[in-house]
Amino acid sequence: MTETAKKILAQLSNVANGAGVILPLSLAVYPRSTICAAIEAFSESCELQLDEYRDGHALLGVRVKSLHTSDAHSIVGELQNFLLRSAVELNET
Amino acid sequence: MPDGVTITSASVPDPASIAENRAAIEIDTTIYSLNAVLRASYKFTDQAYFFIAHREDARDRVVVTLTLNNSASSIRVLVGNFCNELLDQQVRESLAREFGDIRTLIVAQAFSEGNLLDPKRDDGNCEEDPRATLQRR
């Protein structure tokens, strides 16, 4: 298993523990506009923080708010799919 | 599995209960384009949560992480279906690149009244034989 895969899997497994996750985003996969749309869409259920750390890469910190902790797994999952759908739809246009 | 795809079953140390619901797939983007990866992932968003990241030490590879949602499908079946869909999307993309212009022309011809390739073909009087077809016999 590659280091990248290990890191992501470890991050995602933290969701079940109620901890926050940091998603390493490539702007080539998820353009900035899709990330901004996701932040806006999920701001009610999550605390989201975007850090662009070098050209073409960003880190999205996600922490599910305490009120929604029991649904953390599905909320973070839906956030991932939201990013994906937005990226695909942007590619289509 | 097709070339260019490496599958890693999730073996997350804890909690073990969710390890069965997750897998990471490494894809060589010189074989399968990023667009094909996105489209293939998109198709299964009703069954799993997808996350796509570039590998830190190899920019031509992406890691796709699948996490089953609450549907009943198994991760092994989903990974297999995803790989087949990836191949399908890549073939579609290759065909579109190869024959896209011809397809556009066929569609345009189907909806046009004249002949797009030879506008004078349908003009003239057939008795005058403007294309000299009778002389070839």
From residue A63, give the alpha-carbon distance in Å to each of A68, B53, B117.
10, 19, 60
Which H or E run contains A77? helix A72-92
Residue entry with tokens 């029991």: A70
What pLDDT is stored for residue A66 in this prediction? 83
Query: Which of A10, A76, A81 is facing B45, going by the closest CB pair?
Result: A81
How far apart, in whole angstroms, are the C-alpha atoms of residue A56 and residue B129?
A: 65
Residue-wise pLDDT for B47-99, tens only, equals 999 999 998 788 889 999 999 987 667 888 899 999 999 999 999 999 999 99
Q: Which residues from A are below 8 Å from B39, CB to CB?
A: 88
How far apart, in whole angstroms, are the C-alpha atoms of residue A32 and residue A11?
A: 22
How far apart, in whole angstroms, are the C-alpha atoms of residue B93 and residue B36?
A: 7
How far apart, in whole angstroms, are the C-alpha atoms of residue A59 and residue A21?
A: 10
With beta carbons less than 8 A apart as the criterion, state whether A17 and B18 touch.
no
Name the percent of chain B in helix, strand, coil, to the closest 5.
Answer: 40, 25, 35
We report the CATH number of the domain holding residue A79 as 3.30.70
Which H or E run contains B99? helix B75-111
Is A29–B53 a contact, with Cβ atoms under 8 angstroms apart? Answer: yes
Give the residues across from B22 on adjacent strands: B67
Q: What total of structural domains would you count in chain A?
A: 1
Task: Report the CATH architecture of B5-111.
Answer: 2-Layer Sandwich (3.30)
Q: Which residues, at least 6 apart from A51, have a Cβ–Cβ distance to it below 8 Å?
A: A58, A59, A61
Domain that holds residue A80: 3-92
Q: What is the pTM of this model?
A: 0.78
Q: Which residues from B are below 8 Å from A12, CB to CB?
A: 22, 51, 65, 67
Whole-complex ipTM: 0.90
What pLDDT is stored for residue A5 in this prediction? 82
Task: Quote the tokens at residue A41.
Answer: 């869409």
Give the pLDDT means over successive 10-residue stretches in chain A (93 positions). Answer: 81 77 92 94 92 84 87 92 95 77
Is 70 exceeded by the pLDDT of residue B105?
Answer: yes
